[in-house]
Structure 1
Amino acid sequence: MTAPIVIVALAVCLSATMIGAWLIALRTGRSGWIDAIWSFATGAFGAAAAVIPLAESQISMRQVFVAILALFWSLRLGLHISIRTARGGDDPRYKQLREEWGGSFKRRLFWFLQIQALAALALALSIMLAAHNPAPGLGIADWTGFAVLIVAVAGETIADRQLSAFRSNPANKGKVCDVGLWGISRHPNYFFEWLGWLAYAIIAIDLKGAYPWGWLALAGPLLMYWLLVHASGIPPLEAHMLRSRGKAFRDYQQRVNAFWPGPQHWANARNNGGIR
């Protein structure tokens, strides 16, 4: 099968999947299913693209290796969001969109999810590019990518559990979670999500120049960084937190980095009136 045919098939399947997510979200009234379905679809179709033979006569160990990594990430994130949604939790970002879009919410949500399908296509292609690196056997880059993805999934899992434990304590109602990983980044789950996509670029890129297509896998982490930091991730979520937590969250913004983990800026917070 040729690469263009695979890309077209991926685009059609992802578009159709997000139409299904749109219908489910409207029918159930829970937008959390959108992100769960997106996670499952990106991993599943990315894994499929990884193992589909292109010029190779046989499926390589790298293709299987990368497909397993994609499915591992997808199942962890998709199940986490599914459980949260099933328990009645919902994403405040979609609630805000419903308020902003008003009567045109259904139509605009449809096209918004098609944009998500396009983003998923770019990410699935990053997985595909990593899997089809023609280098023989599994080398240092492969195992480095594997280690990076394991760290990413573990870090995101720990961050999610720390936030869940914080929210489950009645004493923390109305407070901002700043414990554990949330004390070194305001969005550690987003940071580790980005880190996971860097793994595929590490596997795909051949520094010797034998596989120039591998450099295109950088589109995965670059796109994910833009989405999380500048588009659908941090901006709308922090706007919601400022509305719901007010000064407590502004203080938190003063002393903790938004994305990159690092030490807290206590001096800056004092100088800006963040700590009293």
Structure 2
Amino acid sequence: MPARRMVMIVNPRGGTRRGPRVLDSVKPAFESAGIALDVRETTRAGHARELAATLDLEGCDGLCLIGGDGTIHEVVNGVMQRPEPSTTPLGFIPGGTGNDVPRHFECRDPEEAVRRIIAGSARPVDVMRVTMGEEVRHCINIVGWGATVDINRTAERLRYLGPPRYTIAALSHILRAKRRQAEIVLDGETLTGSFLLAAACNTRFTGRGMDLAPQAAADDGKVDVVLVRRASRMQMLTLLNRTYDGSHVAMPCVECRQVRSLTITSTKPERLMLDGELKGTSPVSVDVLPGALRVLV
């Protein structure tokens, strides 16, 4: 039987900078399975995307990565911009801070991730195509607008605090929540008014474990949209607490829809959060590309 070969993109600077340590710990498992690794270490922002877009994947059994959700975002975008659609499955080995995409697949342990990659069973995963004017991006986790962006922006400033920064950032914005005027179109249905937040979720989690969209499935051809139009500070505090077990979706102030496409047009350009990264501005349109990728999970 020919030896198996996989490419491994490693982000040495993501999250807690543990990428190289994770690589050292998982290498023996690949060697024991007879899998040759072609390791590529990123050296700058955007490098993982460049590698995923240009590497020769002919005869490759898997395009794997060690990093966090930001690295996954880069690799997904690189794969989606290849001249010809890639059939090489992706493998995600957690090495970041949030690791919300691996959390969705119940695979936050690097060793378990490696076992699944070696097993070689790939499943189809949807991708969200995000269009902002002339710019097109692809997301596998979340497209956020409104308070989700405010919280993420503050959390990035508090990165030195480690994992608690997400909760601290959320609490700070509950005290000064800002509503924004917008027109949101969900599968052709138009909603207008002021909104605290809107999030289109392909997977369940964001903000290091907030179960924002507990009914989300990454392979159903739909995105789960979570909307909050108006809420008191007490309601927002309760909502924050209940996002960790997903029970917030039962609150009267929370609206949930499952759609194949949506657009958000605000009265002025507003920053967006794409898979945890602050990129682009509204107006934005999102549509689902069913089963656009295969993932070894």
Q: State TM-score, norm by structure 2.
A: 0.27
Q: Who wins on radius of gyration, i.e. which is larger?
A: 1
Higher strand content, 1 or 2: 2
Q: State TM-score, norm by structure 1.
A: 0.28
